Amino acid sequence: MKPLHIAIAGYGTAGQAASLLLARDGHRVEVFERVATPGPVGAGFLLQPTGMGVLLELGLLDAALQLGAPVRRLFGDLPGGRRIMDMRYAELQPQLFGLGMQRTALFELLHAARTSATQLHFAANVETVDAEQGRLRTADGREHGPFDLVLAADGSGSRLREALGPQRLNRPYPWGALWCLLPVRDWPHVDELRQRYRGAQRMIGLLPVGGRVTDASPRLSFFWSLPTSDFERWRARGMPAWREELNALWPQACGVFEQLPEDPAGLARATYRDAVPKRWHHGRLCAVGDAAHAMSPQLGQGVNMALLDALALSDALRAEPNVQTALRRYAAERRRHVGIYQLWSRWLTPLFQSHHIALARLRDLLFLPLSRLPLSRGQSLSVLSGTQQGLFGRRPLDPRLLQRLTKPLR
């Protein structure tokens, strides 16, 4: 395929990774980002082995491993000590682990890797797209294009997704979260994602996320789950009362909670959507990242899926003779992988974020015993690592990645 002129709307993980991979293949790339000073949204995330494979392809894995924190276990319990979740990556393959990272760290790595083949337009809010002609119109009234291909990488609240046609599903989740980064200090579980639950209405999480290029000090990503309708009620309640509730739910983490901001404005708010378009591409427009498959964060796959989308699209454009056959190949491959995660996220979210008392009790009784059965154990670990494909299929990991993960990290 001859080099294409490609526009990307959005400079999050999907947009950044796609711009790097497509520019590397000789395409001329223009990125349109609505904010004047782009940066990451959110505190931290868990990069799975599938996402690490994309960073390996980009030549950024070693840098990510230097910055992030290896996470080898996911553990969740109740205030009384009853275990609800306990999974270790090594049970799937001995060398595997997740990598807790600050979103700022990944953003900076991807941003620093760009080349002159990519032109960045900041404060350029794409309002409409002509999918047939490949033309964009930004909020300042300017028209851009025509482009051979336009990528909608504008996140879960994508405005461009409508140009793909009818949606199977597009709704906000009623539950969100509060986030911030905290110093690790004497927190003992430096290689574990730890969560504490009370029913399905209360969930606290602490994820080690390492440092970033400009500040190597290791951090924990703190999150607190609550309904989006309760954000203002939480703020009005006041920080002292909230801190008392945290300490009562998780006394072992009191030292961490002491470091929480005194001002509610010091915690970021996160909201989520469930979006399933009937088609991922139409004309010259194609969706990547959350614009194509927004889902609940319960499975922690958002960043990984965005990276895999970018790589799959790059591979398809390299393999196929024209844009339309490449887009069909891309969509077919990614749907096979993403579909099972969308299904699982819809089933699991009410067990951890809802007002359903009976569901929470059922989870407390059965979740851990069922997850330890041989068949479901392998299934759970595959979903965790991002390698589940379909109901029983497995997505193979790059042998180069497995070899790299056997070596010392530092």
Task: Quick: pLDDT tens for 154-174.
Answer: 999 999 999 999 999 999 999
Token pair listed for 93: 């393959």
SS3 letters for 146-178?
A: CCCEEEECCCCCCCHHHHHCCEEEEEECCEEEE
pLDDT confidence of residue 408: 82
Residues of the chain with pLDDT under 50: none
Cα 224 from Cα 268, distance rounded (Å):
10
Q: What is the pLDDT of residues 190-220, one digit of tens each?
A: 999 999 999 999 999 999 999 998 899 999 9
Please say whether the dihedral angle defined by the alpha carbons of residues 9, 297, 270 and 71, taken in this order, is positive or negative. negative
3-state secondary structure of 115: coil
Q: What are the φ/ψ torsions at residue 6 (nearest 5 degrees)?
A: -120, 135
What is the set of domains in the chain, with CATH numbers?
5-173+272-405 (3.50.50.60)
Please say whether the dihedral angle defined by the alpha carbons of residues 354, 357, 362 and 365, taken in this order, is positive or negative. positive
pLDDT confidence of residue 410: 63
Residues 6+ apart with CB under 8 A from 141: none
Cα 379 from Cα 392, distance rounded (Å):
8
Under a CB-based contact definition with an 8 Å cutoff, are residues 103 and 44 in contact? yes
Q: Which helix (DSSP H) or strand (DSSP E) does residue 270 occupy?
A: strand 268-270
Q: What are the φ/ψ torsions at residue 350 (nearest 5 degrees)?
A: -65, -20
3-state secondary structure of 343: helix
Cα 48 from Cα 255, distance rounded (Å):
28
Cα 58 from Cα 78, distance rounded (Å):
40
pLDDT confidence of residue 376: 81
Cα 36 from Cα 168, distance rounded (Å):
33
pTM: 0.95
Under a CB-based contact definition with an 8 Å cutoff, are residues 84 and 76 in contact? yes
Nearest to 148 by CA among 38, 8, 248, 251: 8
Token pair listed for 320: 């196929």
Give the N- to C-terminal CA distance of the chain in Å, as an integer: 41
Under a CB-based contact definition with an 8 Å cutoff, are residues 152 and 129 in contact? yes
Q: What are the φ/ψ torsions at residue 120 (nearest 5 degrees)?
A: -105, 130
pLDDT confidence of residue 210: 97
pLDDT confidence of residue 134: 97
Cα 394 from Cα 67, distance rounded (Å):
29
Cα 137 from Cα 392, distance rounded (Å):
44
Cα 31 from Cα 236, distance rounded (Å):
40
Give the Cβ contact number of residue 368 at 10 Å.
17
Residue for token pair 């291909």: 149
Task: Please give the single-letter amino acid code of residue 274.
Answer: D
